[in-house]
Each structure stands twice: as structure tokens, then as C-alpha cells.
Amino acid sequence: MTTLAGELRKLPAFVRRDFLVAWSYRLPFVTDWIGLAFQALMFYFVGLMVDPSKLPTFGGEPTTYLAFAAVGIAISAFMTLALGRVSVGIQQEQLAGTLESLLMTPTSPATVQLGAVVYDLIYIPIRTAVFLVVIALAFGIDFYASGLIPALVVLVVFIPFVWGLGVASAGATLTFRRGSGIVGIAMTVLVLFSGAYYPLDLLPNWIATLAELNPITIAVDGMREPLLGGTGWDGVGRAVTILLPLAAVSLALGAVAFRAALRRERRQGTLGLY
């Protein structure tokens, strides 16, 4: 327990380091937000063409396309960014030449892995929440205020699932060096069949049935119900019940894969090579 507490006390150091690094690159920081604003604007105009009656209802209430897509954009952007950053967090240390220096400190590999992404795991949910608030204010979307906390809970449960996938992907990247292509394809497929940007009933029946099991679908629907339908905690239970065990499996698999990859690299003596 003391060791765990000691390891957790190291995480703020990683957050500070990555904040300082991110702050030293001010332009990408600003352009990220500008890109997100243009994406929202684009969906606003697309939404003008979409007949709201074709969209599903949430809590029995109709919705607009922008409101429907906003949650999808938020979750898929979260997924893309978080998975992308987690999977390359260690790779970046490897590329920068700092990985061996980190491993020479009395810090566990799990802390090194978490530390490499902890800043993003804090920043990206904040970015997601800010995005939803800004888009609601800018385009007059009526999110239910009572749905904010339940939606946040779904997001929080979704984080370890994404993190686990990212850690497994980081292990693959450590082993194969260029693993981002595989991650990119997997992410695209998951987002494509998640109902993030369009209703699932537009898909062929059998794909729609499979897509119901997609964790992104579960997270997106779990957030839409309280935010767009005002269902409060009612719609959240199912999402949390499914996402929690998935998150546990994802984290366990990720940890095993990453440790195995790290050990293999040390054994081969190629840890510092990219």
C-alpha cells in the first residue's frame, strides 16, 4: 500500500512535466481548439439538412442533428485522442531517448506508462466537457443540466476501457515500433459502427445488432440519454454495468501486454532503439 501510495505521488510530476511541454508548443494547443470549433460548425450546417424526425428519440424526446452529433463528436474525439496518446506515450519517450532514464529511477513500469499519459487523461475529458458546453451555448442546444453528472460518470467509466486498449497498443508499438496504423484502423471501425455520427438503424440489421455491443455505442448512448432525454441516472446503469467489466478486462490485457513487451525489449537490449 505504501508502495502504491508512493507511486501515485509521482503522478503530479508527470502532469507538471507534460503541461510544461504542452505549453512550450502553444500553436498546436490553440489549433486543436480551432479545429474542434470548425468541426462543430461543419456539423451545424450538415444538421440543417437532416430531418429531425429521422433521428432516434431519447427519453421519448426528439432531438436535433447537432445535439445528436455533438455527443458523438465528443466521445469519438475523446476516443481518438486518448487512444492515440496512450498508445504513443511510451513511444514518444523512446523517440526522445528518455525512456531508459525513466526506467533507471525506482519507478514501476506501470507508473511510467500511466505517467506518460496522465496529463492527457486529465486534459482530454476536460476538453470534451468544455466542447459540449461551448457547442451548447454557441448553437443553442438544450442539454439537460441534470444529465451532466450522469454523463460524466459514463465518461469516467469509459476512460479505463480506452486506457486499457491504449496500453495494449503501446505494448504493440514498443514491439513493432510502427503500431499506430493498426490502432488507427481499429479506432475508425469502432467509431464507424458506433452511432456517433448517424443512427445505427441506417446500417444493415446484422451490423446494427453487432454495433449495439460496441463499447463506444454503449458510452455514446449512455451519455445521450441523460443529456438529450433528461433521463437522469436511469439510462446510465446499463452503460456502467457493461463498461465496467469491459474496462477491467481491457486494463488487465493492456497491462499484461505492456509488461511482456517491456520485458522483451529489455531482454533484447533494444529498449532505447526506435
Partner 1 sequence: MTGGSVSSTSSASTPALRSQLSGSPRSSPAAPAAVEAIAVSRSFGPRRALDDVSLAVDGGRIEALLGPNGAGKTTLVRVLTGLVKPDAGAARVLGVDTWDCPRELRARMGLVPSGDRSLYLRISGLENLIFFGRLHGMSKSEAVARAWELLELVDLTDAARLRSGFYSHGMQKRLSIARALLTDPSVLLIDEATHDLDPEAAARMRELVRGLADKGAAVVWATQRIEEIRGFADGVTLLREGQAAFQGTVSQLIAVAAPRRYVLRLGNGRAAGHELEALLRAAVGGGTTIAAADDGDPDDFVLHLAEDTVLGSALAALAAGGIEILGCREEVSEIENAYLNLARGEE
The residue among 2 and 53 lying less far from partner 1, judged by its C-beta, is 2
Residue 266 within binding range of partner 1, rule CB under 8 A:
yes
Q: Which of residues 65-104 bind partner 1 (CB under 8 A)?
A: 96-98, 100-104
Cα separation, 117 vs 166, whole angstroms: 10
Cα separation, 179 vs 167, whole angstroms: 12
Q: Which of 28, 60, 204, 269 touches partner 1 by CB under 8 A?
A: 269
Binding segment (CB under 8 A) for partner 1, from list 27-35, 133-141, 247-255, 264-272: 264-272
Q: Which of 1, 24, 53, 181 touches partner 1 by CB under 8 A?
A: 24
Residue 57 within binding range of partner 1, rule CB under 8 A:
no
- Compute how many residues bind partner 1; rule: CB under 8 A: 30
Cα separation, 147 vs 116, whole angstroms: 32
Total number of residues shown for the chain: 274
The residue among 15 and 50 lying less far from partner 1, judged by its C-beta, is 15
For residues 101 to 120, the per-residue mask of contacts with partner 1, x marking binding by CB under 8 A and - elsewhere, is: xxxxxxxx------------
Binding segment (CB under 8 A) for partner 1, from list 9-17, 139-147, 166-174, 221-229: 9-17
Cα separation, 221 vs 215, whole angstroms: 10
Residue 267 within binding range of partner 1, rule CB under 8 A:
yes
The least CB distance from residue 102 to partner 1, in Å, is 7
Distances (CA, A) of 50 to 25, 46, 60, 68: 39, 7, 19, 11
What residue spans of the chain are helical by DSSP H? 2-8, 11-24, 26-49, 65-96, 99-103, 109-139, 148-176, 180-192, 205-211, 215-229, 236-268
The least CB distance from residue 167 to partner 1, in Å, is 19
| Interhelix angle 65-96/215-229, nearest 10 degrees | 130
Residue 177 within binding range of partner 1, rule CB under 8 A:
no
Cβ pair 274, 177 in contact under 8 A: yes
Q: Is 38 exposed, middle or buried (0-12, 13-18, 19+ CB in 10 A)?
A: exposed
Residue 137 within binding range of partner 1, rule CB under 8 A:
no
Residue 30 within binding range of partner 1, rule CB under 8 A:
no
Q: Which of 4, 8, 16, 61 touches partner 1 by CB under 8 A?
A: 16
Q: How many CA atoms lie within 13 A of 154 on its CB side?
A: 32
The least CB distance from residue 8 to partner 1, in Å, is 12
Q: Which of 20, 30, 149, 248 touches partner 1 by CB under 8 A?
A: 20
Measured over the CA atoms of residue 6, residue 155, residue 14 and residue 80, the dihedral's sign is positive
Residue 140 within binding range of partner 1, rule CB under 8 A:
no
Radius of gyration of the CA atoms of the chain, in A: 20
Instruction: Give the binding site for partner 1 (CB under 8 A).
Output: 6, 9-10, 12-14, 16-17, 20-21, 24-25, 96-98, 100-108, 266-269, 271-272
